[in-house]
Amino acid sequence: MFGFDEVIDRSNTNALSVEGYGEYLFGKKSCGQQCIDDGLIRMWIADMDFATPHFVLDAIKERLDRKILGYSMIFDQDYHEAFNSWLKKRCDWQVEPEYLQPSPGIVPALHDLVSLLTKEGDKILILTPSYGPFQKAVQESNRRLVCSDLIETDGNYTINYGQIEKIIEDQRVTMFIFCHPHNPTGRLWSEEELVELGKMLASKDIWIISDEIHCDLLRSGKTHLPFSKVLPGYSRIITCMSPSKTFNMAGMMLANIIIPDPKARALWQKKNGGLVNPLAIAGVKAAYSQGEDYLASLKSYLDGNFELLDAYLKANLPQVGFTIPEATYLAWLDLSFYLDGTKGDIGLELANQAGILVESGRMFVQNGDNHIRLNLAVPREVLAAGLQRLGSYFNKIAK
Ligand SMILES: Cc1ncc(COP(=O)(O)O)c(C=O)c1O
């Protein structure tokens, strides 16, 4: 019904996934002479190769029919209601309408929040491996990055509480940027984990920025618990959510930032005037009010893709470390058996030698060596072809 098997031509649509990989992944316009440019299989950046659902596109078309695309802000109460009713169903959570602030994206919001709520030289903690832009948001604002490596045991990642306790005791950290569910490992943090971490951070009045952009994209049967829910009454927590991953509409550039603290909100509003793309308002409202069936189908398709990957690896590359993640459409593969650090950039190597674009572990700040991240939000035939390429490459180098 939602056409996840359709292979859609994204050429000449200004898609970063198709035209921007050279710069983004390899710091240059193309990935080199030998790169198998034609027919590269793209499993890198976190957007999907599936169509944005028809009810979102229809709402945007309807808005276009109103003919004027002038300056717009979210005045429509239905927008807040659609968001809240989505949250209620997904995670039994509600936010006060005034807490909800629009942003052109979570990454721009992170940059703003770092500069509004901390001072130059302040220390900001993240968990590693980490989504790379967390590091940028800290360092580009002249704040100091402090990392706590997640502990990996047989493919399962957990938080090093002892280390975090020591870091926040000794180093006067003023902000913690958190990813829940976690990119790249796909961990969906449990209530116990959130409570333990939350207690520690709240005892030191540390600002918590909880990036929950992947919170809808769980394996079927799982439920997301917003970090804020385990810290009732703690106002130094800001939750970042967005329809961009769930409905494949990152290009519409509208994320929802939930800021309960009135002073922080005033600072935010002074910096961000609140102007929003009118097409995005229409599309996001439709996504949150009509997206139930679509999300159930999407999750089921992604579950199938993860099962395919798991079965392929077990049959063809049994030395790859992999566990189906609880969340996200991202697979985090441990290739330590195949890589000894001498291969240089495995991402570039796979582009050049195997014709597949992935993100190498080194893009995730630290604690990601010998890993790659694969985006599984692709039609199944594309996934199958990508796996063949990975299989023949790694089986060749293992000989
Ligand atoms: C954890 C995380 N945060 C933020 C983003 C990007 O957010 P936005 O496009 O809203 O800036 C991504 C995209 O991959 C992500 O994985």
Cis preceding linkage at 184, omega within 30: yes
For the stretch 376-395, pLDDT in tens is: 999 999 999 999 999 999 99
Q: Residue 254, SS3?
A: coil
Atom nearest to 242 CA in ligand 1: 10
Strands 255-258 and 237-241: antiparallel
Q: Residue 107, SS3?
A: helix
pLDDT value of position 32: 57
Q: Which of 128, 213, 215, 258 for mutating ligand 1's site (highest number of atoms within 8 Å of CB)?
A: 213
Which residues pair with residue 128 across a beta bridge?
A: 149
pLDDT at residue 30 is higher than 80: no
pLDDT value of position 202: 97
Comparing CA positions, the residue from 307, 386, 399 lying closest to residue 350 is 386
- CB of residue 211 inside a 6 A radius of ligand 1: yes
User: Helices then strands (H, E): number in the chain?
Assistant: 13, 14
Taking the C-alpha atoms of residue 177 and residue 110, their distance in angstroms, rounded to an integer, is 9
Record the pTM: 0.97
Taking the C-alpha atoms of residue 123 and residue 137, their distance in angstroms, rounded to an integer, is 12
For the stretch 104-124, pLDDT in tens is: 999 999 999 999 999 999 999
Order of strands, sheet of 330-334, starting from the edge strand that comes earlier in the sequence: 330-334, 371-375, 359-360
Taking the C-alpha atoms of residue 311 and residue 307, their distance in angstroms, rounded to an integer, is 6
Hey, what domains does the chain have and what are their CATH numbers?
Answer: 16-53+293-397 (3.90.1150.10), 68-290 (3.40.640.10)
Number of neighbouring beta carbons within 10 Å of residue 384: 14
For the stretch 47-68, pLDDT in tens is: 999 999 999 999 999 999 999 9
- CB of residue 131 inside a 6 A radius of ligand 1: yes
How far, in Å, is the centroid of ligand 1 from the Cα of 112? Answer: 15
How far, in Å, is the centroid of ligand 1 from the Cα of 106? Answer: 6
How far, in Å, is the centroid of ligand 1 from the Cα of 107? Answer: 6
Contact 216, 242 (CB under 8 A): no
